[in-house]
């Protein structure tokens, strides 16, 4: 079952879609025998939306729901069907919006608070990581083609000329979005690679070798920094010839399958550990 929702965040109305696994519904845990399910929140990338390129996030959410997860995908302010001006909000606002969406997802009595995952793509990957280090409710991270240097990576996409215009005139246009100096300044405040040691949960990194937007090398660097932690495991999947948005059917199937399998394996390991603890 799927349901369209609106989540209030400050003066924003965030449009979202929630996917329920079998046996879980809007009314809470009645009829579910007290069984709780994992929650996955999908964080889209720069000027993206909850549909995803070639419906990637729709397909992902439906597959993960069939596998027993409650999945919530949403549009950041100013994107998709959400209100607001995306280019005036900045990274700090995106982190805060993600935490508000987590509040909503965890308000469902069917959700297991020990099984909360943020799945982020591109800039959404950086946002997911930065949210996780601030919010201990997040236990797992799935980072698809994640941004590593928010300011440099986004300026590269928009173009240096656009950035200079924003600084000079107060706004620049990119893909129909107006980006203010406030937006760029917010990007420069965060260095995700330096934050990895603050997240103690498990991490899955996925990247395509033909990504010409965010270098595949970032995932190797992320892996190295995550492995320096004393807690939490990190797994990496490199998909041969996949581009930034996994735009072929084969590559979509690979990234979704790997994510679904990784989450399932975590569940099985946790169940085995609990069995041995008894």
3-state secondary structure 225-250: HHHCCCCCCEEEEEECCCCCCCCCHH
What confidence tens digit (pLDDT) does each residue in 169-180 have?
A: 999 999 999 999
Give pTM, 2 decimals.
0.94
What percentage of the chain exceeds 90 in pLDDT?
90
Note the pLDDT of residue 277.
Answer: 59
Identify the pLDDT of residue 268: 86
* Statement: residue 30 has pLDDT above 50: no
Q: What is the model's pLDDT at position 109?
A: 86
The whole-number average pLDDT for the span 191-197 is 98
Tell me the mean pLDDT in the region 121-127.
99
Q: Which superfamily, per CATH, for 2-149+191-277?
A: Alpha/Beta hydrolase fold, catalytic domain (3.40.50.1820)
Give the model's pLDDT for residue 32. 52
In the predicted structure, residue 106 carries a pLDDT above the cut 90? yes
The count of residues in the chain is: 278
Give the per-residue pLDDT at 28.
Answer: 45
Question: What confidence score (pLDDT) does residue 228 get?
Answer: 96
Mean pLDDT of the chain, nearest integer: 95
Cβ-count burial of 245 within 10 angstroms (0-12 exposed, 13-18 middle, 19+ buried)? buried
pLDDT at residue 34, as a whole number: 64
Comparing 6 with 271, the larger pLDDT belongs to 6
Separation of alpha carbons 32 and 261, rounded Å: 24
């Amino acid at each position: 079952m799927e349901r369209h929702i609106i989540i209030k965040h400050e003066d924003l109305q965030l449009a979202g879609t929630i996917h329920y696994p079998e046996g879980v519904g809007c009314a809470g845990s009645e009829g579910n025998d007290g069984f709780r399910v994992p929650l996955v929140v999908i964080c889209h990338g720069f000027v993206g939306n909850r549909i995803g390129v070639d419906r990637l996030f729709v397909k992902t959410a439906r597959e993960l729901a069939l596998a027993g997860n409650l999945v919530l995908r949403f549009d950041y302010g100013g994107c998709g069907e959400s209100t607001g001006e995306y280019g005036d909000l900045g990274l700090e606002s995106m982190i805060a919006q993600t935490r508000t969406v987590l509040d909503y997802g965890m308000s469902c009595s069917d959700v297991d608070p020990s099984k909360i995952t943020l799945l982020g793509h591109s800039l959404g990957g950086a946002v997911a990581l930065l949210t996780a280090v601030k919010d201990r409710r997040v236990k797992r991270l799935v980072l698809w083609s994640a941004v590593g240097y928010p300011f440099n990576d986004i300026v590269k996409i928009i173009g240096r000329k656009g950035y200079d215009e924003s600084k000079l005139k107060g706004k620049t246009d990119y893909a129909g979005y107006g980006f203010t100096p406030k937006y760029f300044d917010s990007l420069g405040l965060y260095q995700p690679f330096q934050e990895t040691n603050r997240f103690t949960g498990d991490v899955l990194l996925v990247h395509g070798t033909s990504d010409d937007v965010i270098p595949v090398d970032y995932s190797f660097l992320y892996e190295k920094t995550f492995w320096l932690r004393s807690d939490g495991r990190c797994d990496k999947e490199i998909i041969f010839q996949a581009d930034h948005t996994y735009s072929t059917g084969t590559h979509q199937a690979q990234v979704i399958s790997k994510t679904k399998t990784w989450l399932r394996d975590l569940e099985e390991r946790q169940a085995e550990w609990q069995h041995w603890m008894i």
